[in-house]
Structure 1
Amino acid sequence: MYQFFVDKPVDNGTIINNLYKVSHVIGSGSYGIIYYSNDIQTNEIRVLKQLRTSKHRTKSEVALFENEISIISRLQHAHMPQFYEAFSVNGSLFYSMNYIEGINMEDLIFSTNKTFNEQEALAFILDLLPLIDHLHKRNIFHGDIRISNILMNKGKLFLIDFGLSKIEQNDFKFLEMKQEDYYDLGDILLYLLYTTFSSESKKALPWTEELSLEKETVHLLKRLLQINEAYSTLENITKDVEVALLAITKK
């Protein structure tokens, strides 16, 4: 009830920090509200993220928001959000970033019935790997790699939403975190492969029985999903994706 009364979005047309004119809300989560806005000095589109007012009551929620700001400010990648500034207005915390044009992969699949065959699904993962590599080389663990956090624009992939991301300097702990990101990659790959699946059986079966895949793709999935020995490096994942793609093209 408290959240209902205090977490009302900023009105459309409001100018925030004497710079950003809010157009409309483009997203909201459990602890943040995201606005489409214009920089009134440059007339460029900017995205504002606001920590919900109800979350200001706990230091841990504020710390999560500040952690997200710290991570986004380190990214420096054309296919990830570009950070501009963090600020406070009337006690509310905000940060601004660039607007990434594209369609959310979840929306693309469900609204247009987009499907991926085995080759297309593997190629998708191969395109995603350099983005994950960029993060891991900076000791950043994304923590929430899923289709709803991937945008596509003209065939190019963009990774967003770093609310659960962390920076870890301990090599052993970071290996575990990296493997969580790898698991998410396996989950995405499996999800994409199922977009072409049509079952005539009423009985749910394991993916190894339902999907007809090359043995190289099965090997890749079992390691990503940690059914078999988990991957420890992105280089080995990249190699196995390429091997699986080659097996398909040779058919």
Structure 2
Amino acid sequence: MYQFFVDKPFKEGTIINNHYEVVRVIGTGSYGIVYLCKDLRSQKNRVIKQLRPSKHRSKKEVELFEIETSFLRTLNHKKMPILYETFTNNEDFFYVMSYIEGDNLEDQIFYTKKTFNEKESLQILEQLLELVDYLHQKNIYHQDLRIPNILLKNNELFLIDFGLSKLGKAVESAHSLKMKQQDYYDLGEILLYLLYTTYTSKYKKALPWTEELSLENETVHLLKRLLQINEPYSTIKDISDDLHAALKANEKVD
């Protein structure tokens, strides 16, 4: 009840920090509210994330918000947000980042009914793998790779939302390997999700994906290792090698 009354988003037209005009709410998460705003100084669109006011009393939530901004500050990739500034206003915590135009995969799949065949799904994974590799080289583990956090525009993929990201150590530990493999597992879940966009059930009873989907052997092998059904991957290179083998198998079919 407290959260309901305290966490009301700013209305359209509200001015934040004297020069950011709220255009609309983009989304709400468990600890943040995200707005599309116009920077009245530059006349450019920006994205502002606000820590939910109900979370101010939690040191842990404030720390998570600050950790997210620290991760964004280290990023320098055209397919990821750029952090412009952080500020507090009447005890509220905010950060400002670049606006990446595009619809997330979840909306494209559910609202525009976009589908991906096997080759297209693998190509999406190829783009996403490059972004995950970039993060892992910085010892950053996303930990929330899901279709709502992936934007797609003109077949170009962008990765957003680093609210659950974790920092590993330069020397890989068992904990770092676990976080790395969680990102790999999430890649497998995304790939499987994309592959199911072209699936229409022929049976009343749901069957395992290995029986429902007609896939090249190389794609099955890739999925089973990503999803840790078979030996889990421990390096991006191994995933990349198997991914390219799956893409090659699909080119033969074409």
**TM-score > 0.5, shorter chain as reference:** yes
Q: Deviations over 1:40-72 (max 9, x none)?
A: 111111111000100011101111111111111
Query: Could you say what secondary structure the match of 1:152 adopts?
Result: strand
The CA distance in 2 between the partners of 1:112 and 1:33, in whole Å, is 25
The residue type equivalent to 1:209 in the other structure is E
In the other structure, the counterpart of 2:82 is 82
Give the Cα separation in 2 of the matches to 1:14 and 1:198: 46
Partner of 1:182: 184
Equivalent position of 1:216 in the other structure? 218
Give the C-alpha shift of residue 4 in structure 1: 1.2
Q: Does 1:69 align with 2:49?
A: no
Give the drift of 1:14.
Answer: 2.2
**3-state SS of paired residue (2:36):** strand
Distance 1:23 1:209 in 2: 47
How far residue 161 of structure 1 moved from its aligned partner, in angstroms, is 0.7
Structure 1 match to 2:199: 197
Instruction: Indicate the RMSD between aligned Cα atoms, in angstroms.
Output: 1.0
**Distance between the aligned counterparts of 1:205 and 1:62, measured in 2?**
44
Q: Distance in 1 between matches of 2:159 and 2:53?
A: 27
What amino acid is the match of 2:49? Answer: K
| Alignment partner, residue 8 of structure 1 | 8
Which range moved further: 113-122 or 156-165? 113-122
Partner of 2:150: 150
Number of residues paired by the alignment? 251
Where in structure 1 do 4 or more consecutive aligned residues deviate above 6 Å?
none
| TM-score computed with the length of structure 1 as normaliser | 0.97
Counterpart position of 1:141: 141
- Aligned counterpart, 1:47: 47
3-state DSSP of counterpart to 1:226: coil
- Separation in 2, partners of 1:232, 1:207: 24
SS of the residue corresponding to residue 250 of structure 1 reads helix
Give the TM-score normalised by the residue count of structure 2. Answer: 0.96
Tell me the equivalent position of 1:171: 172
Gaps of 5+ in 1: none
Correspondence 1:96 to 2:100: no
CA distance in 2, matches of 1:10, 1:186: 37
d(CA) in 1 for partners of 2:77, 2:187:
20
In structure 1, what residue type is equivalent to 2:127? D
CA displacement, residues 140-172 of structure 1 (integer Å, 9 cap, x when unaligned): 000010111100111100001111001111512
Following superposition, the deviation at residue 174 of structure 1 comes to: 1.4
